Amino acid sequence: MRKNIAKLLAVPIIMILVVVSCGKDFLETQPYGSVNNELLATSAKGANALLIAAYSNLDGFSGWDNGSPWGGAASNWTFGSVVGGDAYKGSEAGDQPDITPLERGNVDANNPYLDGKWRNYYDGISRVNGAIKAFSALKEISPAEKTIRLAEARFLRAWFHYDLWRIFRNVPFIDETLTDVRIGNTTNILPKIQADLQAAVAGLPVTQAEVGRVTKGAAQTVLAITYLWEKKYSEAKAQLDAVVASGRYALNAKYHDNFNAATRNSREGVLEVQQSVNDGTTDNGNNGDVLNFPYNGGPAGCCGFHQPSQDLVNAFQVDANGLPLLDTYNNTDVKNDDGLKTSDAFTPHTGPLDPRLDWTVGRRGIPYLDWGKHPGSNWIRDQSYGGPYAPIKNTHYKSQEGSLTTSSGWTSGYNANNLKLVRYSDVLLLLAEAEVELGGLERARTLVNQIRQRAANPAGFVMDGANPAANYRCGLYTATWTDANTARKAVRFERRLELGTEGHRFFDLVRWGVASQVKTAYFAKERIKRTYLTGAAHVSPKNDIFPIPAKAITQSAKDGKPTLVQNPGY
């Protein structure tokens, strides 16, 4: 009997153990460290955080799952600068070989750079739409703030779509009302971009307390660019005039202050992507351009991409009056050290040059910020492949290492040098363009001279000791502009000099309808220097836009059929 009691006791004890160990909620677990949308979207704090996350995509990086930072880079150093002929891919042939077909005009739809761009920006758009939904429904916020935040969001949505539009052209416009994003890409989305921008112009203040937030001026400028694409010159002029009239913006006294981390968010910045370092990650510090530094012993030490082209360098040649050689700039090369070792003797070009050259291009024998003189091939990864030049606009000063660059990470190329998507000089040049087309040639000349006046400031020259590092000359257009063609040529040329390697060039060429003509001439000369450009071609209209990523088409299937259509010719 005793053992039966023991047995009878054992069973209930086990039963109790079972019940205690497994409560009702045992199979109801929730993820740690994150929150659901209800919690976020119903508070001002949450809605703002959703908007911040959308801002975070302005740099073109939203996580490795969406592609590399350089693939989606907001600076468009690949899609704008390399494809536009301002620069070569650079580095060595085997590194990032996916850029080569972009540069050569034979890209296919599987290229990961296309994918990266597409994913990053649509991710940004998705984030914006979440923020718009949250702010729209939010009650615990003042109407004034709500207006501004919604206007910011719509600007961001417009900007993301605009960049996709100018790269891929036939893209879907995704707004917060869609439940299924598979809407096809056969409708022109420019009107929707403009509607967002108009709403942004209406809702945004001229200045914001937080300098990283977008402003009315940015919205007006971007809206104006979309008008220029449509050749709606007076509409564009109206917006740009308003930006000028706001008095909010001015040119920096020194050209290079635009590319110095210490002088970011100056009055010349109309739309700047905020870059930060030593904030717990390296991903916020000029991530998209982190490969674009000299090589070996040079600043940041990696990875030698985005090497300026000889064509660009030649464009900085000037005549005795310091004016650009609009038609003959490429007849002779600016002297370079291609084929020379660092130990070989070399004297830099002695002819007159626009002073902006050495703030745009790192070249042998010229001081490279405070890093000493560019030593030539020692800072070049593979000279025979990528040429003798180095990029410089995204580079930090040696004296800024550790403070305005990251203190950790695999390269010190992560720096706080803000990316300027729109500078005030850009505004003035766009306005000059509109004026030329509207017959305001003299206004255009004044605007161009305003740009050149600043460039000509000797205080802003690259100095070698007490003397200018090269034979710098920058004169004003003194003669009246009477011929629209000449004026147009001068304005466009000025745009190249002022905004060289900043990612605008290709889109400008397409906007002006001259991409095929300019690039054909470019390839004819450059392929002799860079043999990998042999066989490269630009055929309009096919090459004016890039193929829709194959993956995007594949993933857009509805009932087994893709809803996105590939661009013609791809």
Partner 1 sequence: MKRLLPNPRRTGLLTVFFAFLVSMAFAQTKVGGRVTGGDTGGGLSGATVKVKGTANVVTTGADGSFSITVPGSNAVLEVSFVGYETMDVAVAGQSTVNVSLTVSAGALQAVVVTGYGSQERRSITGSVAVVDTREMTKYAASNIADQLQGKVPGVQMSTSGDPGSAAFVRIRGIGTINNNEPLYVIDGMPVQNESNINFLNPNDIESIQVLKDAASASIYGSRAANGVIVITTKKGKTGTSKLTVDMFYGHQTPAQIPELLSPTQFLQVQQDLAKGQGIPFTSNLFIRQGSNWVMPDFVVRGLGGFLAGDPAVNPNKYFLNLDPTGGGVGDYLILQANKAGTNWFKEVFRPAAQKNVQVSASGGSDKGSYFFSGNVYDHDGIMLNNDYRRYQARVNTLFKVRNWLRVGENLNVAYQTTRASMGNPNEGSPLINAYGVPALVPVYDIAGNFASPAGFGSALSNVVADLSRARENNGGHSFRITGSVFGEVDLAKFLTWKTSYGVDYNSGPGQGYGTRRYEAVEGNNNPNSLSNSYFQNRNWVFFSTLNFKKSFGDHKLDALAGYEAKQTYYEGFSAGGSQLAFDNFNYRLLQNVNPATFYMNSYRGEHNVLSTFVQGSYNFNDLYYASATVRRDGSSRFINNKYGIFPSGSVGWRLSNMKFMDNISAINDLKLRASYGILGNNEVGGDYPGFSNFGTSLGEANYDIRGTGNSNVTGFQQSSTGNPDLKWETTAVTNIGIDAVVLKDFNVMVEWYKRDTRDMIYNVELPLELGAVGRQAQNIGSMRNTGIDFSLGWNKRLTRDFNFNVAFTGSTVKNTVLKLEANDNSFIRSGGSRIGDITYTKAGLPISQFYGYVQQGLWASDADITKVLKTDKGDAKVGRFRYADLNNDGKIDNNDETYLGSPIPTFIMGLNLTANYKNFDFTMYWSGTYGQKLFNYVKYWTHFNAFQRNRAAEYLTEAGKSLPVIDGGDNYSSQRNSYYVEDGSFTRLRNLQIGYSLDQKMLTKFGLSRLRFYVQGQNLLTFTKYSGLDPDVTVSNITEGYASQRDLSIGVDNGRYPLARNFIFGVNLEF
Site residues for partner 1, window 7-36 (CB under 8 A)? 7, 10-11, 14, 17-18, 21-22, 26-36
User: Which residue number, 181 or 195, has a Cβ lying nearer to partner 1?
Assistant: 181
User: Which residue number, 82 or 552, has a Cβ lying nearer to partner 1?
Assistant: 552
CA distances from 411 to 51, 211, 252, 399 (A): 30, 28, 30, 16
Alpha carbon distance 473, 190 (integer Å): 41
Applying the rule CB under 8 A, the residues between 182 and 211 that interact with partner 1 are 182, 210-211
Rg (CA), the chain: 27
Applying the rule CB under 8 A, the residues between 464 and 523 that interact with partner 1 are none
Contacts with partner 1: how many residues (CB under 8 A)? 128
List all residues 6 or more positions away from 328 whose beta carbon is below 8 Å from its beta carbon.
none
CA distances from 434 to 27, 47, 447, 452, 502 (A): 65, 39, 11, 18, 21
Interface pick for partner 1 out of 256, 264, 488, 519 (rule CB under 8 A): 264
**Count of CB atoms situated within 10 Å of the CB of 517:** 13
CB 162 within 8 A of CB 222: yes
In the complex, least distance from residue 305 CB atom to partner 1, rounded to whole angstroms: 12
Based on the shown chain and the rule CB under 8 A, indicate whether residue 537 belongs to the binding site for partner 1.
no
- Furthest-apart CA atoms within the chain: distance in Å: 122
User: Which residue number, 124 or 391, has a Cβ lying nearer to partner 1?
Assistant: 124
User: Which residue number, 406 or 543, has a Cβ lying nearer to partner 1?
Assistant: 406
Q: Where does residue 334 rank: exposed (0-12), middle (13-18), buried (19+ CB within 10 A)?
A: buried
Applying the rule CB under 8 A, the residues between 417 and 456 that interact with partner 1 are 418
Based on the shown chain and the rule CB under 8 A, indicate whether residue 569 belongs to the binding site for partner 1.
no
Alpha carbon distance 263, 266 (integer Å): 6
Applying the rule CB under 8 A, the residues between 57 and 96 that interact with partner 1 are 58, 61-63, 65-66, 92-95
Interface pick for partner 1 out of 70, 113, 122, 389 (rule CB under 8 A): 122
Interface pick for partner 1 out of 42, 330, 378, 566 (rule CB under 8 A): 378
Applying the rule CB under 8 A, the residues between 127 and 166 that interact with partner 1 are 127, 130
Alpha carbon distance 200, 151 (integer Å): 4
Interface pick for partner 1 out of 187, 328, 399, 555 (rule CB under 8 A): 555
In the complex, least distance from residue 222 CB atom to partner 1, rounded to whole angstroms: 19
CA distances from 140 to 5, 137, 151 (A): 66, 10, 18
Based on the shown chain and the rule CB under 8 A, indicate whether residue 267 belongs to the binding site for partner 1.
no
Interface pick for partner 1 out of 170, 220, 275, 543 (rule CB under 8 A): 275
CB 455 within 8 A of CB 474: yes
Interface pick for partner 1 out of 107, 225, 303, 455 (rule CB under 8 A): 303
Q: Which stretch binds partner 1 (CB under 8 A): 215-223, 228-236, 239-247, 377-385?
A: 377-385
